[in-house]
Structures are given as C-alpha cells and as structure tokens.
C-alpha cells in the first residue's frame, strides 16, 4: 500500500493559559516543490500537470520564493511547513527547497517541517525531453539529515518516526507529529511502533521538559482522523 502520512500538528499550551505573549505562527502545507533541475516545462510535462491537481507545479520554485519574501517582511515567531514539501521526494527538489528556505533560517525565523507521503521512501520522477523517468526518492534517514536545521536540531525527536517536539519558548512547545503507516488509512495505529512512540513522546517530553499536562487517548488505535 502506498505510503501514507498525515501530518498532525498540535500546539501544546499550558492548560491554565499562562502563555505570556501572543505568537504569530504561519502554517503552509502541500507546497509540492519541484526543482527546475528535474522538470522541463515541455509539452509532455504541461500535459501531466494539467491532468493533475497541481496546475502551477512548474511554478513552485517561484511561488516558494515569493512566500519566503513575504515571511521575511512579516517576521513571524515560527513557520510550520507540513508535507507534502516536494512533488515526489526527489533529492534535487529537497535540496532546492532547502536553499530557498535558508534566508528564513539566517533571519532567525524558526522553520519547522514534517514530511508528507510524497517526500521520502517512495518513487520520484524526472520530467525531461518530453518523457517521464522514474528515480529513487530520498529515505527517511536522508530527510532527517537534510532538514536538520528545520526543527530537528536541539529538540526531542521520536525514535520510531520523524515526529519531534520543538520548544518555541519556555511556555510554548510545538509537537510535529508524523503519522505514517503503510497498512492503515486515516487512523493512528501501533504499526511499526510509530503511533505508540509518538504518544509516549508527547507525554514524556511534556512532563519532563515542560512540566505541562498533555491529555490524550491511551490507545492510539482509537484515535481516528
């Protein structure tokens, strides 16, 4: 079954609402970034995208650059980018997306990413010479290394998935939850130990690091999306 990830993002705040300030957090999802290095806007490719959902896929590098420009002016406290970050997980697309996002990191604006089902451990495609060629996408391990500056450094990362717990301030933590399983549909389960590890990470991290109470179902298989 096709890899399926649902990126579930929780903003974990103190239950008695002791957050001392207002936060500006921007969330963008499903960029489907496609590098110009592996896609030519020829007749074949334009026909492919016109028959799909992403009618402006060939413009994702330019659209992402415009987004970054706007964020540099807005200067939010954090930016959350949930998958699909890329169209099909090709290394070139991830590399060019990271290069495009780097000015935000240099401006000390935290950018937190979580992968979607298009982003790793699958098949990627090159669109050139009026043809489509299949290549390998990056792996989950590759993703962790590539995006080390995008939420995965100096934080609490789950051992079973690409989920992590990010400390935005002393009183506000952000949980980036990677809910991926190969044999489930629209449901958190114990598949590969992932959901079990996710929820254990939430309660453990919250109690040990933040001294906050996080409530949730004891049985993740009963948490349907």
Q: Indicate the average pLDDT of the chain.
A: 78
Give the H or E element holding residue 10.
Answer: strand 4-13
What is the tens place of the pLDDT at every residue in 187-224? Answer: 444 444 445 555 566 565 555 554 443 333 333 332 32
User: If pLDDT is split at 50, 70 and 90, which confidence band does 184 have?
Assistant: very low
Residue the block writes with tokens 């934080």: 155
Residue the block writes with tokens 């051992």: 159
- Is the torsion defined by CA of 177, 183, 186, 191 positive or negative? negative
Q: CB–CB of 188/221 below 8 Å?
A: yes
What is the tens place of the pLDDT at every residue in 26-48? Answer: 999 999 999 999 999 899 999 98
What is the tens place of the pLDDT at every residue in 144-167? Answer: 999 999 999 878 888 878 888 899
Q: CB–CB of 114/7 below 8 Å?
A: yes
Q: CB–CB of 177/10 below 8 Å?
A: yes
Q: CB–CB of 3/191 below 8 Å?
A: no
Before 181, cis peptide (omega within 30)? no
Contacts 24+ apart (CB under 8 A), 70-73: 71/26, 71/104, 71/109, 72/103, 72/104, 72/107, 72/109
State residue 198's pLDDT score.
56
State residue 204's pLDDT score.
56
Question: In the predicted model, what is the mean pLDDT of residues 81-100?
Answer: 96
- DSSP result, 146-174: HTTTTT-SSSEE-SSSS-EEEEEETTEEE
| Distance in angstroms (rounded) separating the CA atoms of residues 219 and 221 | 5
State residue 106's pLDDT score.
97
């Amino acid at each position: 079954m096709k890899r399926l990830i649902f990126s579930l993002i929780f903003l974990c705040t103190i239950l008695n609402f002791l957050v001392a300030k207002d936060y500006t957090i921007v969330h963008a999802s499903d960029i489907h970034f496609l590098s110009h290095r592996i896609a030519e806007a020829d007749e074949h490719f334009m026909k492919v995208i016109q028959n799909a959902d992403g009618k402006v896929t060939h413009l994702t590098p330019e659209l992402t650059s415009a987004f970054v420009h706007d964020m540099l002016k807005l200067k939010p406290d954090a930016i959350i980018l949930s998958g699909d970050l890329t169209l099909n997980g090709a290394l070139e697309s991830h590399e060019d997306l990271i290069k495009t996002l780097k000015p935000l990191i240099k401006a000390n604006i935290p950018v937190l990413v979580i992968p979607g089902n298009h982003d790793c451990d699958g098949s990627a495609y090159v669109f050139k010479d009026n043809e489509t060629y299949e290549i390998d996408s990056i792996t989950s391990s590759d993703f962790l290394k590539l995006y080390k500056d995008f939420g995965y450094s100096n934080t609490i990362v789950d051992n079973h998935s690409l989920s992590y717990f990010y400390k935005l301030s002393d009183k506000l933590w952000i949980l980036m939850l990677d809910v991926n399983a190969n044999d489930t549909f629209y449901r958190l389960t114990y598949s590969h130990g992932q959901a079990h590890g996710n929820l254990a990470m939430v309660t453990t991290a919250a109690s040990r690091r933040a001294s906050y109470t996080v409530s949730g179902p004891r049985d993740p298989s009963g948490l349907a999306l």
